[in-house]
Amino acid sequence: MTARIYQFRDRSEAGQLLSQQLAHYSNRNDVLVLALPRGGLPVAIEIAQSIHAPLDVFLVRKISAPGCEELAMGAVATGNVQVTNSDLVQALGISQSIFEAAVEKELRELDRRESFYRQSRPRPKVRGQTVILVDDGLATGSTMHAAIAALKQQHPARIVIAVLVAPSQTCEGLKSEVDEVICTYTPEPFHAVGLSFENFTQLNDNDVRNILKRAEQHFANRAGGL
């Protein structure tokens, strides 16, 4: 008999469920919610509004090894941060020119997204903050590992990972890298993040920008009402 795969309604429900586990971060002036776009945004806005914290995006682009998208030679991220897995680059025999070309490609896409999503808004100040890093789910966790490495270079006081769906071993693998890991649902066997959602519609760049505008207005209205 095949076990039924539990399904959440959508990413908004995911954010509401995670918010309950993050309630102890409510109403603090040192907390920042950062989403990994695109899928992390609908989750993160629910968390940010629930705990009354500002929301922004943390853009990270893996520098994938040639022919293996999941194998990260490094990453570039928000804040002009670059992380290089020198040991892997050397082990694979990747030339400097090939690596630099891969970095340049990801930097162009990162800059494009930064410009489109952020427009005139400044980048978030991470130093000394408790950062809640949010995604809808994880599979191998390679993008999240890259995001953590990049985020640490900006010196947050504390890093909390919050995802709804992930394999248990992926969640366990993150615990040594950050201060707290919240993985609500760890299906066994794990097949794909999207199988746990009834509605797993993919977002586009306009969706991301609209969610950020909505979150900014909500936080401004609340601050003005205090």
- The structure's pTM equals 0.87
DSSP 31-85: EEEEE-TTTHHHHHHHHHHHHT--EEE--EEEEEETTEEEEEEEEEETTTEEEE-
Q: Confirm if 40 and 58 have CB atoms less than 8 A apart.
A: no
Q: Is residue 5 part of a domain?
A: no
Query: Which one, of 20, 48, 49, 52, lies nearest residue 34 by Cα?
Result: 48
CA distance 49 to 52: 5
Q: Is residue 70 part of a domain?
A: no
Q: Is residue 104 part of a domain?
A: no
Q: Is residue 185 part of a domain?
A: yes
Q: Which amino acid would we find at residue 200? A: F
Q: Is residue 36 part of a domain?
A: yes
pLDDT value at residue 190: 87
Cα within 13 Å of Cα(223), Cβ side: 10
CA distance 150 to 51: 25
CATH number of the domain encompassing residue 207: 3.40.50.2020
Write out the chain's pLDDT in tens, 226 residues: 345 455 789 999 999 999 999 999 999 999 999 999 999 999 999 999 999 999 999 998 888 888 887 778 888 888 778 888 888 899 999 999 999 999 999 999 999 998 999 888 888 889 999 999 999 999 888 889 889 988 999 999 999 999 999 999 999 999 999 999 999 999 888 888 988 898 999 999 999 999 998 888 887 777 665 5
Cβ-proximal residues to 58 (8 Å cutoff; 6+ apart), any chain: 34, 35, 36, 77, 78, 124, 133, 147, 150, 151
Q: Is residue 86 part of a domain?
A: no
How many CB atoms are closer than 10 A to CB 119?
Answer: 10
Which domain, by its residues, includes 185?
A: 11-61+125-225
Cβ-proximal residues to 122 (8 Å cutoff; 6+ apart), any chain: none
Domain count for the chain, please give it.
Answer: 1
Q: Is residue 72 part of a domain?
A: no
Q: Is residue 181 part of a domain?
A: yes
